[in-house]
């Protein structure tokens, strides 16, 4: 297959025109091929303009001022919450908590729900595939409470092995915390099956949606998870803003996370009463511009269509895997394209992944190399590090060709 034969449901060329960064060169004379989308995505003009417009025209703090600017800022910030609630089909805007990102959302659940519900001998079930953000908070909680951590194994092929799930769920399992899509391999995990089994066993379920919410349609009611954490910056939004979705009954019962302004209804010297949802979990002045920017980002994604974005990425991934498999000495990690979205991680015998990434950078191809904050998964894969190319809605088949060409050049430099 060659790049001109790829059938995409998107007009990625037209989409690219909305992203100013994609028009630049990596360095003078070297076109930029941005394939580091799993780390962070680029931002379209409407998102950049919404942030500029906020600071230029109605910058004010939210929820407190009676003046016109504060009212406008509050309407825009809370309007963004409504857009995000609709984007993931939450049953209420009260279930959408603004955070700094996925990491904070998971820590919020571990610190509040976890501290209140996990005791000595209880079990926290997660997987060997997780990003450190969905592992370390549970380690901290388990250490503090004397709880047991259990792991759904990952196979060398980069999938979860669910054959022992019933046994792993046997006993006092209180929470199951699983990533939806692997940031290293792109594997789409069968979360519906895991959620249903966990619920049958009486556990609540947190899904790390950092790599799924940006790339596919997500309906929290249909999937039935109790918590879903994701980051704005991986889905065309700004950095420093993310979302924790939580089922209302659970959020109502949970103690607050941080104390301070905005999260209280009434304060006396010795005690306080908490504000209602979602503000109970949003202490202090929030990232107002970030929330507004993320609202515009989800509108942008919805206008294009999440089904189409997923199909486009899967086309690109299938093509990338086919081309990569033709490179002598190159090993691609993870399952076949139909079980993945948007990620291709690989190693070349005799060339360290960091050297590979540097040589690709010399050709303008931006990728990430290392353990991608998933060291336990790399132990399973038997590779301390990989080089990762990750795609998004604006990537083109020709950029896969550029990646492959740059890999051949890197090999030639090392006489491989
Ligand atoms: N969970 C997953 C699956 C992730 O991929 C990431 C970030 C996080 C959690 C943490 O998100 P944050 O926005 O709170 O930092 N992953 C990556 C990556 O793969 N390369 O850079 C960041």
What is the percentage of the chain residues whose pLDDT exceeds 90?
Answer: 97
* Domain limit, last residue, from 269, 288, 303: 303
207 confidence band (pLDDT: 50, 70, 90): very high
Query: Percent of the chain scored above 70 by pLDDT?
Result: 100
Helix (H, G, I), strand (E, B) or coil at 44: coil
Residues 252 and 340 in one domain: no
Atom of ligand 1 nearest to the CA of 133: 9
Residues counted in the chain: 416
In the chain, how many domains are there? 2
- 73 and 20 together in one domain: no
Rounded mean pLDDT of the chain?
Answer: 97
Question: What radius of gyration, in Å, describes the C-alpha atoms of the chain?
Answer: 22
Q: Say if residue 123 is in the same domain as residue 264.
A: yes
> What's the pLDDT at 185?
98
Asked whether residue 37 is assigned to any structural domain, the reply reads: no
Above 90 in pLDDT, residue 416? Answer: no
How far apart CA 279 and CA 333 sit, in angstroms, is 42
Residue 68 lies in a domain: yes
* Cα 210 from Cα 95, distance rounded (Å): 18
What average pLDDT does range 360-364 have in this prediction?
98
Inform me whether the pLDDT recorded for 1 exceeds 80: no
Q: Is 180 inside any structural domain?
A: yes
**Domain membership flag for residue 43:** no
Give the pLDDT band (50/70/90) at residue 80.
very high
Distance 72 CA to ligand 1 centre (A): 32
Note the pLDDT of residue 3.
Answer: 85
Stretch 260-264: mean pLDDT: 92
**pLDDT band at residue 113, thresholds of 50, 70 and 90?**
very high
The reply to whether 38 falls in a domain is no
Q: What is the pLDDT of residues 231-253, one digit of tens each?
A: 999 999 999 999 999 999 999 99
> How far is Cα 134 from Cα 208, in angstroms, rounded to an integer?
7
Q: Does 64 score more than 80 pLDDT?
A: no
Task: Answer whether residue 2 shows pLDDT above 90.
Answer: no
Q: Which residues are catalytic?
A: 373
Question: 273 CA to middle of ligand 1, Å?
Answer: 34
> 407 in a domain, yes or no?
yes
Please indicate, yes or no, whether residues 249 and 391 belong to a single structural domain of this protein. Answer: no
- Same domain? For 179 and 316 the reply is no
* Residue 293: domain span: 48-303
Beta strand 242-246 with 96-99: parallel, antiparallel or unpaired? antiparallel
Residue to mutate, 107, 130, 131, ligand 1, most ligand atoms under 8 Å from C-beta: 131
Residue 266: the pLDDT is 96
Q: Is the bond into 278 cis (omega within 30 degrees of 0)?
A: yes
Residue 177 host element (H or E): strand 173-179
146: left (phi over 0), alpha (psi -120 to 50) or beta: left
Distance 184 CA to ligand 1 centre (A): 10
> pLDDT tens, 276-317?
999 999 999 999 999 999 999 999 999 999 999 999 999 999
Distance 71 CA to ligand 1 centre (A): 34
**Shared-domain flag, residues 140 and 87:** yes
Q: Are 7 and 319 in contact (CB under 8 A)?
A: no
Does residue 295 belong to any structural domain of this protein? yes
Ligand 1 centroid to Cα of residue 290, in Å, is: 18
Indicate whether 250 and 227 sit together in one domain. Answer: yes
Residue spans of alpha helices (H) in 224-362: 248-253, 288-304, 306-325, 353-362
Same domain, 99 and 169: yes
Residue 267: pLDDT band (50, 70, 90) is very high
**Closest approach atom of ligand 1 to CA 234:** 13
What CATH number is attached to the domain comprising 393? 3.90.1150.10
Mean pLDDT of 188-192: 98
Q: Examine the fold and report which residue of 259, 276, 303 is the final residue of a domain before the chain moves on.
A: 303
298 and 310 belong to one structural domain: no
Indicate the residue among 303, 330, 360 that finishes a domain: 303
CATH at 139: 3.40.640.10
DSSP-assigned beta bridge partners for residue 274: 264
Statement to judge: residues 287 and 317 lie in one domain: no
Residue 40 lies in a domain: no
Same domain (yes/no): 52, 8:
no
Pocket test for ligand 1, best of 108, 211, 333 (most atoms within 8 A of CB): 211
Ligand 1 atom nearest 181 alpha carbon: 3
27 lies in the same domain as 87: no
Which residues are near ligand 1 (CB < 6 Å)?
38-39, 101-103, 131, 133-134, 179, 183, 208, 210-211, 231, 368, 372-373
Average pLDDT, integer, range 116-145: 98
């Amino acid at each position: 297959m060659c790049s001109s034969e790829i059938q995409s449901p998107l007009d990625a060329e037209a989409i690219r025109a909305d992203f100013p960064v994609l028009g630049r060169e990596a360095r003078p004379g070297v076109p930029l091929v941005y394939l580091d989308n799993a780390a962070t995505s680029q931002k379209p003009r409407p998102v950049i303009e919404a942030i500029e417009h906020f600071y230029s025209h109605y910058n004010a703090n939210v929820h407190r001022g009676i003046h016109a600017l504060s009212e406008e800022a509050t309407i825009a910030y809370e309007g963004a919450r409504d857009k995000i609630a609709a984007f993931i089909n939450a049953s209420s805007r009260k279930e959408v908590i603004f955070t700094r990102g996925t990491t904070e959302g998971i820590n919020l659940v571990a610190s509040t729900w976890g501290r209140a519900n996990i005791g000595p001998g209880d079990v926290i079930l997660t997987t060997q595939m997780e990003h450190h953000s969905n592992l370390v908070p549970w380690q901290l909680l388990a250490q503090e409470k004397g709880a047991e951590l259990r792991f759904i194994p990952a196979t060398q092929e980069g999938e979860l092995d669910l054959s022992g799930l019933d046994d792993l769920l046997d006993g006092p399992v209180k929470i199951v915390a699983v990533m939806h899509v692997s940031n290293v391999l792109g594997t789409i995990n069968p979360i519906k099956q895991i959620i249903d089994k966990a619920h049958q066993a009486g556990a609540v379920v947190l899904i790390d949606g950092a790599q799924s919410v940006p790339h596919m349609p997500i309906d929290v009611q249909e999937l039935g998870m109790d918590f879903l954490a994701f980051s704005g910056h991986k889905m065309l939004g700004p950095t420093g803003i993310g979302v924790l979705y939580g089922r209302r009954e659970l959020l109502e019962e949970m103690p607050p996370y941080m104390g301070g302004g905005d999260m209280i209804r009434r304060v006396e010297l010795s005690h306080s009463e908490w504000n209602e949802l979602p503000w109970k979990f949003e202490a202090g002045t929030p990232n107002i511009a970030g929330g507004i920017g993320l609202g515009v980002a989800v509108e942008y994604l919805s206008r294009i269509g999440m089904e189409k974005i997923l199909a486009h990425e899967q086309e690109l991934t299938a093509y990338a895997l086919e081309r990569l498999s033709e490179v002598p000495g190159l090993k691609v990690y993870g399952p076949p394209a139909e079980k993945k979205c948007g990620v291709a991680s690989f190693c070349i015998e005799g060339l360290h992944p960091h050297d590979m990434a540097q040589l690709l950078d010399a050709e303008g191809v931006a990728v990430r190399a290392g353990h991608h904050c998933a060291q336990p998964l790399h132990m399973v894969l038997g590779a301390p590090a990989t080089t990762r190319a990750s795609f998004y809605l604006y990537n083109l088949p020709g950029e896969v060709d550029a990646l492959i060409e740059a890999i051949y050049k890197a090999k030639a430099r090392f006489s491989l």
